[in-house]
Structure 1
Amino acid sequence: MTPLPATATAPTAAASDAPAHRRAPTAPGALPLLGHGPALLRRPLEFLGSLPAAGPVVRVRLGALPAYVVNDADLVRAVLVGEAGRFDQGVLIEKVRPLLGSGVGTADGAEHRRLRRLMQPAFHRDRIARYAATMTAVAAERTALWRPGETLRADEEMNALALTTVARALFSSDPGADAVTEVRRSLPLVLDEIPRRSMLPDALLRLPTPANRRFDRAVRRLRAATRHVVAAARADGSDRGDLLSVLLLTADEATGERLTDDQVHDQLVNMLVAGTETTGATLAWIFHELARHPVVEQRLHEETDRVLAGRAAVFEDIPRLSYTLRVVREALRRYAPWIILRHSPGEVILGDVLVPAGAAVLFSPYVLHHQPRLHPDPLAFDPDRWLPERAARLPKGASIPFGAGGRQCPGNVFALTQAVLQVATIAARWRLRPADGGPRVRELARGAVVHPTAMPMRCLPRERAGGR
Structure 2
Amino acid sequence: MAVHTGPDARARDGERPTGTSAQKPAAFVEGPRGVPLLGNLPAFGKDPLAFFEQLRDRGDFVRWRFGRSHALFIAHPDNIGELLTEVERTFDQPDLGIAFRTLLGNGVVVAKGADWRRKRSLVQPSVRPKQVRSYAATMAECAVDLADRWTDGERIDVKREMAALTQLIAVRTIFGVDTAADAESIGRAMDVAQKEIGAEFSGIGALLPDWVPTPGRARIKRATAVIDAEVSRIVSRHRDGDTERPDLLSRLLAARDETGARLSDREIRDETVTLYIGGHETTSSTLVWAWHLLSRNPRVRDALTEELDRVLADHEPGYDDYASLTYTQAVVKETLRLYPTIWLITGLAKEGATIGGTPVPVGTRVWSSQWATHRDPRWYGDPEAFRPERWLTADREEGEGAGPAEGTEAIPEYAWFPFGGGPRVCLGTRFALVEAVLVLAVLARRFHLDVTADGIRPVPSLTLQPDRDVLATVRARG
Deviation at 1:96, TM superposition (A): 1.5
Report how many residues are paired.
447
- The aligned residue for residue 420 of structure 2 is 403
Encode CA deviations 1:365-404: one digit per residue, 9 max, x unaligned.
1111111111111111111111226702322211111110
Structure 1 pair 440–198 and aligned structure 2 pair: CA distance change class (3 A): closer
Deviation at 1:7, TM superposition (A): 5.8
Structure 1 pair 62–196 and aligned structure 2 pair: CA distance change class (3 A): farther
Q: Matched residues in 2 for 1:382 and 1:221: separation?
A: 41
Q: Which protein has greater RCO, CA pairs closer than 8 Å, 6+ apart?
A: 1
- The aligned residue for residue 196 of structure 2 is 193
- The aligned residue for residue 110 of structure 1 is 114
SS at match of 1:240: coil
- The aligned residue for residue 466 of structure 1 is none
Structure 1 pair 319–201 and aligned structure 2 pair: CA distance change class (3 A): closer
TM-score scaled by length of structure 2: 0.87
Instruction: Report if the CA contact (8 A) 1:238-1:245 is conserved.
Output: no
Deviation at 1:363, TM superposition (A): 0.7
Deviation at 1:76, TM superposition (A): 0.5
Q: Report the AA paired with residue 44 of structure 1.
A: P
- The aligned residue for residue 16 of structure 1 is none
SS at match of 2:141: helix
Q: Matched residues in 2 for 1:244 and 1:280: separation?
A: 21
- The aligned residue for residue 175 of structure 2 is 171
Encode CA deviations 1:265-319: one digit per residue, 9 max, x unaligned.
1000111122223211110111111111111111111111122235431111112
SS at match of 2:230: helix
Percentage of identical aligned residues: 35
Instruction: Report if the CA contact (8 A) 1:164-1:184 is conserved.
Output: no
- The aligned residue for residue 260 of structure 2 is 256
Instruction: Report if the CA contact (8 A) 1:179-1:229 is conserved.
Output: no
Structure 1 pair 195–83 and aligned structure 2 pair: CA distance change class (3 A): closer
Stretch moving more, 130-139 or 310-319: 310-319
2:219 to 196, 210, 214: 214
2:464 to 430, 449, 453: 449
1:439 to 430, 448, 454: 454
Deviation at 1:71, TM superposition (A): 1.1
For residues 268-417 of structure 1, what are the structure 2 equivalents within 5 Å? 268-336=272-340, 337-351=342-356, 353-388=358-393, 391-392=404-405, 393-417=410-434
- The aligned residue for residue 22 of structure 2 is 6
Q: Report the AA paired with residue 457 of structure 1.
A: A
Instruction: Report if the CA contact (8 A) 1:305-1:428 is conserved.
Output: yes
For residues 113-262 of structure 1, what are the structure 2 equivalents within 5 Å? 113-173=117-177, 178-199=181-202, 200-201=205-206, 203=208, 206-236=211-241, 238-252=243-257, 254-262=258-266
Q: Matched residues in 2 for 1:95 and 1:33: separation?
A: 22
- The aligned residue for residue 12 of structure 1 is none
SS at match of 2:220: helix
Deviation at 1:447, TM superposition (A): 2.2
- The aligned residue for residue 15 of structure 1 is none
Deviation at 1:31, TM superposition (A): 2.3
- The aligned residue for residue 398 of structure 2 is none
Encode CA deviations 1:237-267: one digit per residue, 9 max, x unaligned.
6431000011011222x22221111111100
Instruction: Report if the CA contact (8 A) 2:140-2:439 is conserved.
Output: yes
Structure 2 portions without partners, runs of 5+: 4-19, 395-402
Structure 1 pair 21–416 and aligned structure 2 pair: CA distance change class (3 A): closer
Q: Report the AA paired with residue 225 of structure 1.
A: E
Instruction: Report if the CA contact (8 A) 1:95-1:202 is conserved.
Output: no
- The aligned residue for residue 17 of structure 1 is none
Q: Which runs of 4+ in 1 moved over 4 A?
A: 1-5, 82-85, 204-208
2:447 to 430, 437, 443: 430
SS at match of 1:92: coil
Instruction: Report if the CA contact (8 A) 2:450-2:475 is conserved.
Output: yes
